[in-house]
């Protein structure tokens, strides 16, 4: 449990884990078009990967992508030789992981440039309002499908919230990942797991709203009431926990497993104290699946690593640097 005298156990979501058939199409989009750099590449040893994620006897090929050298809000690509399910784009009412979000300096320019480069958007830039207390927050965003069933959401913020990439390079068109999204049946449990009484992220807001513009962007039935809890740490990426007052669609959690599934399949989270973090996981309704195990690999460096599920079955790899 965190209090005024104890630092949070985590600072944010260090990386979204993306399963790929081949690296090249993703590198073409994320490095060539969106300005990410290859921060590290190589393999996760088979013994570590199998212990954490049940991947079998082969080493895993991985790449870590960073924006302007940011150590957080990263994209972790992993090649999945035998995916447990075909690549599919999740819908906002599907249970499990949904999109990965980043800021765009000029979203209309991004829409045009990416479309001309062969990345047509499924949702063009759209502006809508979200009621937060007595004020309305204006959001402009659009959706661009990436390879292997990954949903990328571009956001042009009305007010920029801390981003390491723009702090390092204010002129770059895109940031690191600013948030990751999950749609869950029990949002209270998810908020407790990540929040101040759990791993230590702050609840910036937790609202229920209905917006025609959001219905359009998210592909929701007209008049859907959506609950959105926005959790933030000291660093990106933040977490958007959503739930809705309409019927859930596909439950994707069983086919969203790191290194075994394509697309957005898990989160990587650095912690200052892995033992305390695992204690928090158990106390707040999560499940420790594997570990701790020792590793030294391109994603984590020298570290102690464990695999856990949140109370809603979102897969998280928690790790603590050994140095």
Instruction: For domain 96-244, say whether CATH 3.10.180.10 is its number.
Output: yes
Q: How far is CA 219 from CA 124, 155, 178, 199, 269, in A?
A: 12, 17, 22, 32, 30
Give 255's DSSP letter: G
Strand order in the sheet with 150-157: 123-132, 135-146, 150-157, 96-104, 174-183, 238-244, 226-232, 202-209
Q: pLDDT digits over 48-71, tens only?
A: 999 999 999 999 999 999 999 999
CB 281 within 8 A of CB 289: no
pLDDT band at 137 (very low <50, low <70, confident <90, very high): confident
| CA distance linking residue 24 with residue 248, whole number of Å | 34
Query: Could you tell me which of 304, 196, 305, 315 has the C-alpha nearest to residue 252?
Result: 315
The answer, yes or no, to whether residue 3 has pLDDT greater than 80, is: no
For residue 22, what are its two tokens? 């081949």
All structural domains of the chain with their residue ranges: 15-85+254-321, 96-244
Supply the pLDDT for residue 65.
98
Map residue 187 onto helix, strand or coil: helix
Q: Determine contact, residues 226/276, Cβ cutoff 8 Å.
A: no
Classified as helix, coil or strand, 70 is: coil
251: confidence class by pLDDT, cuts 50, 70, 90:
very high
pTM: 0.95
CATH topology of domain 15-85+254-321: 2,3-Dihydroxybiphenyl 1,2-Dioxygenase; domain 1 (3.10.180)
Query: Would the CATH topology of 15-85+254-321 be identical to that of 96-244?
Result: yes
């Amino acid at each position: 449990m965190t209090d005024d005298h104890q630092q949070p156990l985590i600072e944010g979501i260090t990386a979204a884990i993306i399963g790929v058939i081949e690296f090249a199409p993703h590198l073409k989009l994320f490095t060539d078009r969106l300005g990410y750099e290859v921060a590290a590449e190589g393999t996760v040893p088979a013994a570590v990967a199998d212990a954490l994620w049940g991947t079998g006897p082969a080493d895993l090929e991985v790449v870590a992508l960073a924006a302007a050298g940011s150590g957080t809000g990263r994209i972790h690509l992993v090649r999945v030789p035998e995916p447990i399910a075909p690549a599919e784009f999740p819908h906002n009412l599907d249970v499990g992981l949904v999109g990965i979000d980043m800021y765009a300096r000029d979203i209309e320019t991004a829409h045009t440039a990416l479309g001309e480069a062969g990345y047509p958007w499924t949702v063009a830039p759209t502006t809508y309002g979200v009621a937060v207390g007595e004020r309305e927050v204006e959001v402009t965003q659009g959706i661009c499908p990436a390879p292997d069933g990954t949903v990328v959401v571009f956001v042009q913020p009305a007010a920029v919230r801390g981003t390491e990439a723009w702090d390092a390079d204010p002129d770059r068109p895109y940031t690191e990942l600013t948030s990751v999204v999950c749609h869950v049946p029990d949002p209270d449990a998810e908020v407790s797991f990540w929040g101040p009484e759990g791993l230590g992220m702050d609840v910036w807001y937790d609202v229920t709203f209905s917006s025609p513009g959001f219905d359009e962007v998210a592909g929701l039935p007209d008049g859907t009431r959506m609950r959105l809890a926005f959790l933030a740490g000291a660093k990106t990426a933040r977490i958007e926990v959503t739930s809705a007052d309409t019927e859930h669609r596909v439950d994707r959690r069983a086919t969203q497993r790191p290194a075994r599934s394509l697309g957005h399949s898990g989160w990587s989270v650095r912690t200052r104290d892995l033992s305390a973090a695992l204690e928090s996981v158990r106390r707040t309704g999560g499940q420790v699946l594997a570990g701790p195990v020792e590793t030294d690999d391109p994603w984590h460096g020298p570290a102690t690593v464990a695999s856990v599920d949140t109370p809603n079955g979102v897969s998280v790899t928690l790790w603590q640097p050994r140095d």
